[in-house]
Chain A
């Protein structure tokens, strides 16, 4: 400190110039994110533990009433509506993610085996639809699945839906919309994994008379696992919190957690209940990320799963 030009300047003892440089450069962004995201989130979390006032505004005293309501205990006794919504969100996420994996594996493999000059175009073809606004994409499916369209008529012919009905609104339409929305997020990381694939291992397995399935399981699957994990994070976490697709394609009986939360802040107005749902979503997100990180590290693919 003896060579400091301002020996008595405030803070010069505690902060080196290096630290001050760091703080000045990151301060605006850190302050911005803390004020406009961390504080609002903390406020929302605290609302979850307050009581619902007469106009849907949160009030003291603190209580766990909102969580009891989320579990279905209302003024009129217990009803499973909210729990169904929670379970449906989990189920839809699981189904959509699983189906997306089944589609993305062969697609990613196929792209990685095509000629080099085609690959960029094929990847672009996969990604471009997701550049359009998600409201428009959901609207496209509304057009396709509404009553009287060819797809709905085929479904009627096979007896999946009643006469003069459409395939939307329904849980099926929500699953389809989720798959459509998130397919690129699975194809891209899987493709990255396939591009680095050591095909020697696969040939060795085939030379040793492994069946295609066994060759896939022992030679391909472990090598593409980091991509699969990254894709699962990218698909399942936003799918669980999806708002637009269930709202447009789902109707009342296909509500997901995001819709329950949003409706508590608009018409229905029960902020604590909505905040409790948001808190669950936040915990699920953090829990999912944490679990994936753990699994990824154990498999030695920690570098690829950067999130």
Chain B
């Protein structure tokens, strides 16, 4: 009897936590359809904030910047990170503590220290030598820096899961390094490379702090644009943009759920 009371209170606690997690997002979605310009009451259903988004050039530019930054940085990080992951695996019997420490550095460093040190570095380079002033290029550089470790670790863990004799087999059959890469490494790595690319892209799109401190004045990404709009004064338009971003996350969640089910079935 007491046992079931315990279970029931746990279930209740679970639903309270779900409410806590989804309330802030739900409020954004709800007020994005608010006919009135208010966060305190709901005056009726309207799509006027979404209509305003369509004519917002700054917003479209920010969307473009986000995509260019995300794709460019992910491609570079994919190449560099895959090479590191491969090197780490092939030489895993050596002492690679220095390499692992270096790879973990971008992950453990607090965002704000990461962003500020890059900003100070780029500004100083620009002042002293006239190179690498804050621009889309500096943002890409900063993003690649925090994406490399994730790509490297994904690729490395894929290699660790492989049968090591496969490497010997490829070598025994006199495959040249290029042939080994073309016919053995890349095909086996393909799923992890796709996963690594999407993770890198997601990290880039989701990043605010590091982008914010390395961006030039004309390189606002979506999160930077939203940040600016919030600082200028809360407008319901932000609710509409944010709702679209929440929607894309929800779609990603459904896809990952389906993917999960599929992979379990196999």
Contact = CB atoms under 8 A, between A and B. Distances in A.
Contacts, number: 231
Interface of B: 10-11, 13-14, 17-18, 20-25, 27-28, 31, 38-41, 79-81, 83-84, 86-88, 90-91, 94, 99, 102-106, 108-114, 116-121, 124, 141-142, 144-145, 148, 152, 202, 206, 208-209, 213, 222-223, 226-227, 230, 234, 238-239, 242, 245-246, 249-250, 252-253, 256-257, 260
- Residue of A40, A125, A238 ringed by the most chain B CB atoms within 10 A: A40
Contacts of A144: 23-24, 27
A39 B148 CA distance: 17
Nearest to A26: B87
Interface string A134-160: 111101111110111100000000000
A170 interface: no
Contacts of B21: 125-126, 129, 180, 183
B166 to A, nearest CB: 18
Given A29-B84, A33-B106, A124-B257, A243 B111 contact: yes
A238 B103 CA distance: 18
B18 A237 contact: no
- When A and B form their complex, which 10 residue pairs have the shortest distance between CB atoms, in order from nearest? A140-B24, A241-B110, A25-B87, A148-B40, A40-B121, A44-B117, A29-B84, A40-B117, A26-B87, A258-B112
A281 B115 CA distance: 13
A140 B238 CA distance: 10
Contacts of A275: 116, 120
B242 A139 contact: yes
Contacts of A148: 38-41
Interface of A: 18, 21-22, 24-26, 28-30, 32-34, 36-41, 43-44, 47, 103, 106-107, 109-111, 113, 120-122, 124-126, 128-129, 131-137, 139-144, 146-149, 180, 183, 237-238, 240-244, 248, 258, 261-262, 265, 271, 274-275, 278, 281-282, 285-286, 289, 307
A137 B23 CA distance: 10
B25 A37 contact: no
Given A37-B106, A140-B25, A29 B257 contact: no
Nearest to B11: A110
6 contacts: A25-B83, A33-B105, A40-B120, A131-B206, A180-B21, A278-B112
Nearest to A25: B87
Secondary structure dominating the interface of A = helix
B83 A28 contact: yes
A129 B21 CA distance: 7
B158 to A, nearest CB: 15
Nearest to A240: B110
B106 A18 contact: no
Contacts of A261: 112-113, 116
Nearest to B146: A37
Nearest to A103: B17
B88 to A, nearest CB: 7
B10 A41 contact: no
A168 to B, nearest CB: 11
Contact of A143 (B27, B121, B148): B27
A132 B246 contact: yes
Contacts of B145: 32-33, 36-37
A241 B124 contact: no
Contact of B226 (A21, A34, A124, A136): A136
B108 A147 contact: no
Contacts of A180: 20-21, 24
B227 A135 contact: yes
